Structure 1
């Protein structure tokens, strides 16, 4: 009786393990679209989406991601995979390599009666590496800076992809022509319980954005979430993963996300300088690395995190 009850409860009432069990069946169905002999499927407990490690009978490993229903659209997920495929094809950057379906699509959409809505799913080759955190070194952050700058160089010439903006404050802001209008800022302050520090932070970054402009030297396609959990190291090289939040924005936003993720470390000042040195080694004249610009975007990032938690 307990098993029957668990299987018939509404999806929205399940805890994360319960939802993962439902989504596992959906993931198994998604894998039939790929020419990958599956030996084992293991849930990975991180991120807003539901992911599974796929051990292939061919000895290869993969990651299958089942998209959250309130995240990017299927077309936007396909654009993310197209950018990853281009990065793999056109640069030496170590990023996830998408696996096409048998019909050569980079996304497959699967439905299951036990899940309320169809889900977009993507499969990528596994990226080896480890998270470092407290033991991060200046040399490693220099490498992260180089990688970020090279991502931006490629993002500057990558156009026509269906991706949103990385600097949206709220769902309301995303739906407006001007995502930083007075009405959007008022709504953000309201969501923050009337805290006018939110207004000050957003107005500051609004002024900085206006000063930077939107030319390809400062604005383009960016990772959008390059915090510690999304860059890892293996055999002396840095790799970037989880491009689910990629979109269009100022390059300074990417650096601000990485900067803010180092805040808890005692060596954060050394690491931040190394990050900027690595970035400037690829993009030496970037207004993106100006301290006032970065501080403004750090403020924006903190407002975003506050409004989305």
Structure 2
């Protein structure tokens, strides 16, 4: 969809909210399109046009039910703004078309992206930052444990089937077209062994519940000593260890932003244990979920050639083999 059509849709969509607009500017073009909306009264909002066929309306409304519960627990997350009709989302059609998108509005959160901040930090700063992040992730999980799932709540699940089943949420990485036949055979073996291992993981509420599922360093904002988390588009039911793995994955040395991994990893775990002391079993699952993240990114890139990351796939495949060997999931 071209930018002009999306901008026109954004202009039409914002009319459904009680906002007197001063300006609308493109902030982020990814799978969803985000516009920064500045109002005449000085308020600022993020207007998000959701990608087609990713979530239905029940799933989107459920996302905001969960983020509202996190906000009520004292966590800094996006706050939804309802339309003039009291709805969390609006269905808005493109000009002269039956094609439509779901659009939502949240209050803008100021802050520095963690990934931008960390590049200029020494070891002590990295340690402090990731210890704080570990505490925030633990508070997310504590809030989930205390939360009562409302009737009709609907989100996807990152269980064994959601990660590794016949139709996994992020695609069949073991069939990657950018891999050789030999590499695909190894990826299939890793998948088989991961299914066996992860099928033994506990799914009780202390280990498995609603998670953010995309806590990479572009989705964490720093404001002084406070950390906010944004972009709950992938949020669903999953193991808490996966949240921790995603939070640290882009510090691995084979990633584009890799740096400070050991310090960040130890500090993340320290912060998490400070809030949830008896969770060593969850921390022990982080390595296999680091591997899971590597594998899902392979297919994520391959399914989105427009992103321009395909040259990174061989690096990820080799990294996945190294991770699997370390976990004894591949000889």
TM-score (norm 1): 0.84
1:47 paired residue number = 30
Please state if 1:199 is matched with 2:188: yes
Structure 2: state its 5+ residue gaps. 302-331
Larger mean Cα displacement after TM superposition, 107-116 or 223-232: 107-116
In 2, Cα distance between the equivalents of 1:91 and 1:83? 11
In 1, Cα distance between the equivalents of 2:97 and 2:272? 44
In 2, Cα distance between the equivalents of 1:171 and 1:206? 9
Preserved contact between residue 30 and residue 121 of structure 1 (Cα < 8 Å)? yes
In structure 2, relative to structure 1, the CA distance for the partners of 1:283 and 1:159 (3 Å cut) is same
Give how far 1:102 is off.
1.6
In structure 2, relative to structure 1, the CA distance for the partners of 1:158 and 1:304 (3 Å cut) is farther
In structure 2, relative to structure 1, the CA distance for the partners of 1:144 and 1:204 (3 Å cut) is farther
Structure 1: state its 5+ residue gaps. 1-10, 12-18
1:243 paired residue number = 232
Q: 1:225 is matched with which residue: 192, 214, 234?
A: 214
Give how far 1:174 is off.
4.4
Q: What SS is found at the alignment partner of 2:48? A: strand
Please state if 1:60 is matched with 2:43: yes
Give how far 1:263 is off.
1.1
**Number of aligned residues:** 280
In 2, Cα distance between the equivalents of 1:266 and 1:87? 30
2:167 paired residue number = 173
Within 5 Å, give how 1:151-300 maps onto structure 2: 151-156=140-145, 157-160=147-150, 161-166=153-158, 168-169=162-163, 173-174=167-168, 188-191=173-176, 193=179, 194=181, 195-264=184-253, 265-286=258-279, 287-290=281-284, 293-300=285-292
1:305 paired residue number = 297
2:107 paired residue number = 125
In 2, Cα distance between the equivalents of 1:116 and 1:284? 53
Preserved contact between residue 173 and residue 298 of structure 2 (Cα < 8 Å)? no
Preserved contact between residue 44 and residue 108 of structure 2 (Cα < 8 Å)? yes
1:84 paired residue number = 67
2:309 paired residue number = none
1:138 paired residue number = 127
In structure 2, relative to structure 1, the CA distance for the partners of 1:200 and 1:297 (3 Å cut) is farther
TM-score (norm 2): 0.79
1:110 paired residue number = 92
In structure 2, relative to structure 1, the CA distance for the partners of 1:237 and 1:229 (3 Å cut) is same
Q: What SS is found at the alignment partner of 1:196? A: helix
Pairwise CA RMSD of aligned residues?
Answer: 2.2
Please state if 1:38 is matched with 2:21: yes
Q: Deviations over 1:96-148 (max 9, x none)?
A: 11111122211111112356621111100001110223235111111111111
1:74 paired residue number = 57
In 2, Cα distance between the equivalents of 1:233 and 1:112? 36
1:98 paired residue number = 80
Preserved contact between residue 38 and residue 57 of structure 1 (Cα < 8 Å)? yes
In structure 2, relative to structure 1, the CA distance for the partners of 1:308 and 1:256 (3 Å cut) is same
In 1, Cα distance between the equivalents of 2:198 and 2:120? 34
